[in-house]
Structure 1
C-alpha cells in the first residue's frame, strides 16, 4: 500500500474517490487511475526511452543512427516544462560524452533539478519576465560558441514560448507580456498566440538554428499543440516557420486587439509587412538540412493510455477526438450532451478527448480551462445517474491555481445548490476554482514535469 501511495501522481485520489459511495465511487476511481496512467505515459523519461537509445558508439534516435565518434563535442540545450526530466534521461545515457549544456525551466521546479553537466536556468510561465530574458540571452550566447563538429541535442516542450522570451526590437518585455495577456484573455488558441509571439522574438520561429551555425541538431520534442505543428510547439525555435507577419496581423485583427496592443508591437509587425524586417526562415531553407525534429510524445499517447486502462476496467471506450479546441464551457456542455445521448439508450460508455480548450475571460474570478469545462459539464449532467466527467491538464497546472483540473458527477450540481451556491454565477464570473474549493472536486497533482495538453474523460455507467 505504501508503494502505491508513493507512486500516486494524483495526490488526493483517495479523497476524491471516497467523496462518493457505491457505483459513483468506483467510476471515480477508474477515471482517476486512467488519468494517472495517461500522464505517466508521457513523462519525459518514459517518452524518451521509446525513441532514444544508445548502443556503445551509436546514438539511435527513432530510426536515425548517429556515430558518436563523428563529433568532438556534445551539447544539450532546451526549454520547457518537461526540460528537466528530458535532460536527466539524456545525461544518463550520454554522461561520458556530454560536454555541457543549458536548459530553461519554470522557476518553481528549476531549483529541484539534479543534473551534473547541464545548467538549469529559471524562468516564468505563462507570462514572460526579465528572468526569462536573461535566460534566453545566456542560451543564445552559449549557442554562438558551437561549431560544426558539435552534436546539439535540443530538448523542447510546452511552455518554452513564455520561458525563453527575447523580444525583437523595438518590442520591450513589458509590451510582449501585455500582448500575451491580451491574447490569453480573448480566447485565442495556443497556435494563434504562438503565431504572434514568433514574430516578436529573436529566438523563435527557427531563428535559434541561425545562431547554431552548421552544428548537427537533434531536437527532441514533447508536443502540447493540437495537431503537432512543429512551428507552434514552443514557437518553433528549431523549426521553419510557414507563417508570416501577415498571419500575426490577422490574428490580432481577428480578436479586435490591433488597436489595443502596444505601439512597439504594431511597429514590429508593420515593419515585417513592409519588408523592413526579415521574415522568419521558411520551409526549404538550407539552414534546416542539419536539423532533425522529432516528436517523442503528444496527446495521442495520453488518449491511448487512458483508453487501454478503461478497456481493462470493462468500459466500451471511444476516443472522440485528439484535436479538442474551443471555448471550455461550450466543450463541457457538448460532452455532457454526449453522455445524455448514451444514457437515453442506457448504454454504458466512456468517451475520451484530448487537446486544449480556451477561456474567454469575462469575469473577475480565479480558475482554469479544465475547471471551467468541468463546472459547465456538471450543470448539464445533474441528475443523470451514474455519469461522471474529469478534465485535467497534463502539466498539473490549470490556470493560476494549484489544481490540475476537476472531477464532477451527477451529484455535484445538487451539492452546490444545497450549499446555497449558484454554479451559473461562478461560471459567468470565471470563478471555477472557488466553486470547487467549496464543493470539492479539485484534482491535485502538482507540476508533473511534462505537458502535452489536456485530457477529458466522460463516463455514463448503465447497470
Structure 2
C-alpha cells in the first residue's frame, strides 16, 4: 500500500458512506401518509438517487413524480416519474421546463394529498421559475459567481427572483401537506438556504438582498430591483422537514477510514469557507509543520471554499485548493493532499477535484508551468491534467459540500 492508494481508499469509502439512499429510506419507511395521493418532487444533483430510493419505498402509493437534476446525473427511468436534466450552476431552458412540470404536478392538490419533496445541493439552479427574463437571471448568476459570492449570498438574491424559492413552492403545494427530506450542502444546515429553501420560511431580508446586490454591483433591471425589495414568506403551516446528510458526516466518514488505514486523524473544521488557494496554502503549511512526525497523520477540512475569477482558464475550487498546496509540500515524501467535491463535479469540469504530492511541483516545472501563473489564469484543470493530478469519480449521487485531506504516511 502507498499513500496514493490510501487516498483513493479514503475517497471511495467516504463517498459511499454519504450516499443518500439509506437516509431517504429511513425517512420514508413506515411513515403514515394522508388518505389522498402521494406525489414526489426531487431536485438537485442528488435528485435521481434520492427519487429512485423514494419510488422504491413508496411503491404503489406514489401516483406521480418529477425529478430535476444536473446534466449527466440521471441514471435511467424511475417508475411513475418524469426525469428532467438541466443546467448548473447557471439554470437553462430545461431547468425551467422541469420546474414547470413540478409546479403543474402540485398546483391543484387537495388537503388529503401529500407531496414528498426531496432536496439536495444544486437545487438553486436546477429548480427555477424565474420572475425575470432568462437572460437577465443568467447574467445576475454569472456576476455573483465571478465576484466570489458565497452560497448564502447567492441564494438571498436568487430566491427573490423566483416563483418557487424562499418558501414559495410550499405555498403552491397548499393545501396539500409537504414532507421535505433535505440533503444539506450548506455549512450549518440552514434550511432556508439549501436550494434557496423552496419549502422553508425565508429568514433573509430584503435589506440583505439589496446589500448583496450593491456589494457585487449586480446588473439589475428596474423590475429585478423591485423584486429584491419584495418580502418572501416568513411562515408555512403545511411543511414538515427532515435533514439528512451533511459535510459533518462526510468528514466523519473520511476520518473513520483514515483511522482504519493506520492514520491518526484530526478534523480541523467542517466549516471551511475561505479562498480556495488560501485553504490550500494553509493545509500545506500544516503538512510541512508535521513533516517530522513519527506516526502517520491525517488532517481533514470540510466545507466549501470560493474562487475569485481573474482569468479565463478551466477549473474548480477543489482543483485550485490542491494546486495551491503543491509548493508547500514540495519535496515531502509519502505525503498527499487532495480536495474533492462530494457530488463528483468541481466547477464546469469533468473532475471531482485535485490531488498533489511532494513531486507535483517538479512535474509542473518540467511541463513549463508555474503555480502562480496557473492560478492567475484560473486554469488548474489543465495544469493538474498535465501532471496526473485530477480526481475523477463521475456523478456520485450525493452532494454534501467538499472535503480536503492531508495524508502523511510514516
Which residue does the alignment assign to 1:52?
Answer: 28
Give the Cα–Cα distance (whole angstroms) in 1 for the partners of residues 292 and 258 of structure 2. 22
Structure 2 partner of 1:411: 359
Tell whether the 8 Å contact from 1:175 to 1:264 is kept in structure 2 after alignment: no
Cα displacement (A) at 1:344: 5.1
CA offset at residue 297 of structure 1?
Answer: 0.9
For the aligned residue pairs, the C-alpha RMSD in angstroms reads 1.6
Helix, strand or coil for the counterpart of 1:379?
Answer: coil
Alignment match, 1:265: 224
Structure 1: how far apart are the matches of 2:93 and 2:103?
15
Per-residue CA deviation, residues 33-75 of structure 1 (Å, 9 max, x unaligned), is 1111111122221332344323xxxx1xxxxxx2x4x422111
Query: In 1, Cα distance between the equivalents of 2:268 and 2:40?
Result: 38
1:388 aligned partner: 336
Query: What is the aligned partner in structure 1 of residue 11 from structure 2?
Result: 35
Q: In 1, Cα distance between the equivalents of 2:84 and 2:375?
A: 37
Task: Specify which of 289, 309, 312 is matched with residue 361 of structure 1.
Answer: 309
Q: Structure 1 432/341 Cα, relative in aligned 2: closer, same or farther at 3 Å?
A: same
Q: Give 1:32 shift.
A: 1.7
Q: Name the CA distance, whole Å, in 2 between partners of 1:296 and 1:425.
A: 41
Rounded to whole Å, the distance in 2 between the matches of 1:307 and 1:398 is 22
One of 150, 160, 174 as aligned partner of 2:113: 150
- 2-structure distance, mates of 1:427, 1:81: 27
Q: Check the 8 A contact 2:178/2:238 in 1, yes or no.
A: yes
Give the 3-state SS of the residue equivalent to 2:161 in structure 1: coil
The answer to whether the 8 A contact 1:178-1:261 is kept is no
Q: How does 1:290-301 map to 2 (within 5 A)?
A: 290-301=238-249
Are residue 281 (structure 1) and residue 233 (structure 2) matched?
Answer: yes
How many residue pairs get aligned? The number is 410
Match of 2:44 among 55, 63, 80: 80
Alpha-carbon deviation of 1:347?
Answer: 5.6
C-alpha displacement at 1:119, in angstroms? 1.3
SS across alignment from 1:197: helix
Give the stretch that moved more between structures: 191-200 or 419-428: 419-428
Q: How far apart are the structure 1 equivalents of 2:305 and 2:321? A: 8
Which string of whole-angstrom CA distances, capped at 9 and with x for unpartnered residues, describes residues 349-387 of structure 1? 101111111100001111110000000011211122322
CA–CA distance in 1 between the matches of 2:340 and 2:325? 14
TM (norm. structure 2) is 0.96
TM-score w.r.t. the length of structure 1 is: 0.85
Shift of 1:262: 4.3
Contact 2:273 2:303 in 1 (8 A): yes
Give the corresponding residue for 1:99: 63
Distance across 1 between alignment mates of 2:333 and 2:220: 48
For residues 77 and 345 of structure 1, the distance between their equivalents in structure 2, rounded to whole angstroms, comes to 51
Give the Cα separation in 2 of the matches to 1:311 and 1:458.
13
1:138 to 101, 107, 129: 101
**Secondary structure of the corresponding residue to residue 121 of structure 1:** strand
Contact (CA 8 Å) 1:387, 1:460: kept in 2 or not? Answer: yes
Q: Distance in 2 between matches of 1:42 and 1:71?
A: 33
Q: Does 1:199 align with 2:160?
A: yes
Q: 2:369 aligns with which of 421, 441, 461?
A: 421
Shift of 1:416: 1.2
Structure 2 residue 87 is the aligned partner of structure 1 residue 121: no
Q: What is the CA–CA distance in structure 2 between the aligned matches of 1:242 and 1:226, rounded to whole Å?
A: 16
2-side partners of 1:374 and 1:261: how far apart? 35
